[in-house]
Amino acid sequence: MWTLAEKKLTSRLLLGTAQYPSLQVMRESIIASGSDIVTIALKRQITSRESDNGFWDTIKSLPCHVLPNTAGCRTAADAVTTAELAREIFETRWIKLEVIGDEYNLQPDPLELLRAASILVKKGFEVFPYCTDDLVLCQRLRDSGCRILMPGAAPIGSGRGIMNPYALETLRKRLPDITLIIDAGIGKPSHACQVMEMGFDAVLLNTAVSLAKHPAGMAEAFRCAVQAGRMAYEAGMIEARDFAYPSTPLIDTPFWHSEGVRE
């Protein structure tokens, strides 16, 4: 069990709801992941094969908290308006704040993001900002009232894994009291395990599961990876060394002769 924004959760894996081949596959994958939280974009595009009612009925049938997001927003004003609509529709003050500044790598606009976060915090939202791994930006977001930060490991949907481990390790070290959730760029279960070993509190992903050959199987693999990474972090891992160190100390006399030597 762990606590996120006053809610007791059993899973440290958050899952998105886009790009699945069908609603049934999405439902099976979310169940297999064990996730307590799913993200939903208010501006979500419904395909011709799906209906609004079918999607919402599927979401409501799951034992999950909904984390609406402002995906598709380009300005602070647009993000604030979207967040206020989401609060009314989903009846939650949680909002995953996305304010994209570049179309090529979908990197957040730091200025508009900080502006929107400051406004939403004052309006009573629990803001989950999708941000870069820049320490100064993250400190400013914290100072604005954000208790949860969601830095990306790599560009959204790229599956490249951790591109700047130094920056992420620095965030964890310098912001020990902030909940840090890796959001974006995770492609393999090993990537998720690695960031959990670094001490991050949770992982949010979508594409790595929804576009997998077998989404439900991949969701279960990520579930195990996140659990393993957290267990390793809590158990305390040994530090890497630049030299060999024998796991069994050497002595001059084999153990089966030790009694004779003592006599």
Is 217 a known ligand-binding residue?
Answer: no
Q: Which of 60, 96, 123, 213 is catalytic?
A: 96
Question: Would you call 96 a catalytic residue per the annotation?
Answer: yes
Is 207 a known ligand-binding residue?
Answer: yes
Is 164 a known ligand-binding residue?
Answer: no
Is 105 a known ligand-binding residue?
Answer: no
What is the Cα 6 distance to its own chain's centre? Answer: 18
The Cα 124–Cα 190 span in angstroms is 37
Is 236 a known ligand-binding residue?
Answer: no
Closest CA to 180 of 230, 239, 219: 230
Positions annotated as catalytic residues are: 96
Mark the binding-site residues for 1-deoxy-D-xylulose 5-phosphate, compressed into ranges: 157, 184-185, 206-207
Mark the binding-site residues, compressed into ranges: 157, 184-185, 206-207
